[in-house]
Amino acid sequence: MYNRRKFIAQSAMAAGSVLLGSRALHAASMDVAPVQYLTILHTNDTHSRLDPFPMDGSRNEGLGGVARRAALIEKIRGEAEHVLLLDAGDIFQGTPYFNIYNGEPEIKALTQMGYDAVTIGNHDYDGGIENLAAQMQAHGRFETIVCNYDFAGTPMENVAVPYKIFKRGGLKIGVLGVGIELDGLVPANLYGNTRYLDPVAKANETAALLRSKGCDLVICLSHLGYRYSGNKISDLKLAAATSNIDLIIGGHTHDFLEQPEVVRNKNGAEVIINQVGWAGIKLGRLDYRFERGKRGKVERANSLLVTKKTGE
Amino acid sequence: MWKTEKVDGYLRPKVDQVHRIKHHFFYLLVCAGLVACSRPMLPQQLVYSGYNISAANATDSTLGKLLQPYRDSVERSMSVVVGNASATLEKAKPSSTLGNFMADAVLQMANKKFNRTVHFSLLNYGGIRLTQLPQGAVTRGKIFELMPFDNLIVVQVLNGAQVQELLDFIAAQGGWPVAGVSFTIRNKKATDITIAGKPFDVQQTYTIANSDYVANGGDGAAFMRAIPQVTNGYLVRDALFDYVAFLQSQNMTISANNEMRINHVQ
């Protein structure tokens, strides 16, 4: 009797011993390499801080500056295999650069540094939704990602996308974005006809879609804020109420987190949350090592080992 | 079952079956591929590094060149010294030296520019955009950083109940910058309220100077939307400039007034 299972087992042994050393098979398996590395660099709430804080005796004197950030990013690109460069919103407002130029040099700087994607913060509306769309269209060469603002009939309609899949090496990285509730935070004449949708429902829906499209990592760029004392939706609450999100790059609350927070999502799987203060004082770097594994009932079989590098 | 025979001392499939192995070999590779692909790439290890960006970092010249024309023009208009701070002013809750300075500017200038008696002023805490105003020369640019928004000063007339609601709201927020009013926060409510030097009287109406941002419901103050606004196009930032100019004209500096206008009691 023909025993297929046995055939496969025996053939695999025979074929394996013959072919493992073969260059042809090695080349063919490049796209299914067993280990992949990915480096995520991120900022949030840079608030038009193009220059370092002036040397005036203030707490942050001499810190930040985009020319330094750009050099650091270049250095990291030279040593990392694959890089994704992200920002979690509030690019605009905070120095006279914005009062005079309405965000033009800020967006040009992000483009020059090679940012891959940003989400929208409440202050990015400060010059009005028309200005935001115009600056992004004229000077932005990166994705503007937000899934819980309905831009239908607004100038942002053809500028922003709900998500984007980036390919790095053999990895597919899905990025979605969530924005904060605008009513009561941003003057209505500035955000125009933007319709705010429930960030939990939209993030859940979008993350599931990205997972179903085969994304190895799902990142949520969030301008909701890290934590609040009340019921207001935050990154911590979003992480606990959703599934399929692996990493939340947050903003809005200007929290300088000592290291990323590891929390559980609604299925018990790990979600990493990070935020690097404001004003471009800090650049966050997350070096991921990927291996083939089983995504079990709780999305993930293994716990992610998170360590912090010191002395940076 | 596969028949085997010994060839050169090794166990091998019998020659008449080798073609079957070859035939199935492609199928085998496809299977192996499918098995590998059905096992997703999972993050197994994560190393975090937080880089502080300071003078120790190298500078990218391309970006420096890109910014230069913008920087030159910003510096031309923003480096003008408009005043002087005799101490470093700090932003904090429930009251702070920086908050007191800004609310004082709004109260004094609103009285002048609206030509009427304004009892007290307020600003939302999030509207202070610097955590510190450092001691020394204060440039035009520094005032812009402190108050980058083009918010207008609006004058509103509130009845006693509306004043209580507003101050309770400020208390629940942990304290906002105010001038002309003082109170104690008890259980997130405003108590022991004093306005313009007198105990609060719920039967009275009061005139306040507010920013249009808060008056239009900003920072969660939705209840303020119902209250009519008087406006004359005067910006909060212009009140800061005019107040600092007034201090200069009196040979006075921006000083750190640490009066605790709002207090906490557990």
pLDDT tens digits for range B224-250: 999 999 999 999 999 999 999 999 999
Q: Is B46 exposed, middle or buried (0-12, 13-18, 19+ CB in 10 A)?
A: buried
Per-residue pLDDT tens digits for A100-125? 999 999 999 999 999 999 999 999 99
Strand partners, A285: A41, B49
Percent of the residues in chain A that have a pLDDT greater than 70, as a whole number? 86
Q: How many residues would you count in chain A? A: 312
Averaged confidence pLDDT in chain A: 88
Q: pLDDT-derived band of residue B33, with 50, 70 and 90 as boundaries?
A: very low
The span from the CA of A288 to the CA of A285, in Å, is: 10
Write the burial class of residue A77 (CB in 10 Å: 0-12 exposed, 13-18 middle, 19+ buried).
Answer: middle
* pLDDT at residue A294, as a whole number: 64
Question: CB–CB of A96 and B145 under 8 A?
Answer: yes
B234 belongs to a structural domain: yes
Q: Which chain B residues have a beta carbon less than 8 Å from that of A306?
A: 46-48
Confidence of residue B44 (pLDDT cuts 50, 70, 90): confident
Residue range A145-188, pLDDT digits in tens: 999 999 999 999 999 999 999 999 999 999 999 999 999 899 99
Q: Is B209 inside a domain boundary?
A: yes
Q: How far apart are CA A221 and CA A54, in angstroms?
A: 30
Record: contact B59-A309, CB cut-off 8 A:
no
pLDDT in tens, B137-166: 999 999 999 999 999 999 999 999 999 999
Whether residue B133 has pLDDT greater than 50: yes
Determine the structural domain holding residue B216 and report its residue range: 82-265
pLDDT of residue A293: 76
User: Is residue B48 included in any domain, yes or no?
Assistant: no
Q: What pLDDT, in 10s, does the model give residues B49-81?
A: 999 999 999 999 999 999 999 999 999 999 999
Asked whether residue A2 carries a pLDDT value surpassing 80, the answer given is no
The yes-or-no verdict on residue A25 having pLDDT over 90 is: no
The confidence score (pLDDT) of residue A167 equals 97
Of the two residues B39 and B3, the one the predictor is more confident about is: B39
Please name the residue that has the structure tokens 């053809």: A158
Q: Which residues have C-beta within 8 Å of that of residue B20, sequence separation ≥ 6?
A: none
Q: Is B17 among the domain residues? A: no
Report the percentage of chain A scoring pLDDT > 90.
79
B182 or A19, higher pLDDT: B182
Across chain B, mean pLDDT equals: 89
Among A5, A45, A48, A56, most B C-beta atoms within 10 A, so best to mutate, is A56
Domain boundaries, chain A: 34-291
CB within 8 Å of A167: residues ≥ 6 apart: A173
Q: Between these two residues, B226 and B39, which has the higher pLDDT value?
A: B226
Q: List the CATH number of the domain containing B188.
A: 3.90.780.10
Distance from CA of B257 to the nearest CA of A (A): 18
Name the token pair of A2: 């023909």
Of the residues A41, A49, A58, A246, the best mutation for testing chain B's interface (the one with the most B CB atoms within 10 Å of its CB) is A58
> Tokens 């004229």 appear where?
A138
pLDDT score recorded for residue B24 = 53
Q: What digits encode the pLDDT tens for the residues B170-181?
A: 999 999 999 999
3-state secondary structure of A188: helix
Nearest residue to B51 (alpha-carbon basis) of A115, A64, A304: A64
Encode B46-62 in three state secondary structure. EEEEEEECCCCCCCCHH
Are the CB atoms for B151 and B215 separated by under 8 Å? Answer: no
Mean pLDDT value across residues B107-125? 97
Q: Give mean pLDDT, residues A77-90.
A: 97
Interhelix angle for A66-79 vs B61-78, to 10°?
170
What residues of B are in contact with residue A284 (Cβ under 8 Å)? Answer: 48-51
**Spatial contact of B212 and B152, defined as CB atoms under 8 Å apart:** yes
Tell me, what's the pLDDT at A57?
87
Architecture of domain A34-291: 4-Layer Sandwich (3.60)
User: In the predicted model, is pLDDT for residue B13 greater than 70?
Assistant: no
Q: Which of A51, A170, A308 sits opposite B48 (nearest CB)?
A: A308
pLDDT at B5 over 70: no
Say yes or no for a CB contact (<8 Å) between B41 and A112.
no
Contacts of residue A101, defined as CB under 8 A and 6 or more positions apart, other chains included, come to B70
User: Could you tell me if the ipTM is greater than 0.95?
Assistant: no
pLDDT value for B11 = 52
- CA dist A272 and A308 (Å) reads 13
- Contact between A62 and B54 using a beta-carbon 8 Å cutoff: yes
Is-cis flag, bond preceding B94, omega within 30? yes
Tokens for A163? Answer: 């998500």
Q: Residue A78 pLDDT > 90, yes or no? A: yes
pLDDT 10s digits, B73-89? 999 999 999 999 999 99
What's the pLDDT band for A58 if we cut at 50, 70, 90? confident
Nearest CA in chain A to B59: A68
Q: A174 near A215, Cβ under 8 Å?
A: yes
Beta strands B89-90 and B132-133, pairing class: antiparallel
Please write down the HEC assignment for all residues of B103-117: HHHHHHHHHHHCCCC
Residue with tokens 């694959």: A82
Closest in A8, A57, A300 to B28, CB measured:
A8
Residue of chain B nearest A19, judged by CA positions: B29
Total domains in the fold of chain B? 1
Taking the alpha carbons at both ends of chain A, their separation in whole angstroms is: 66
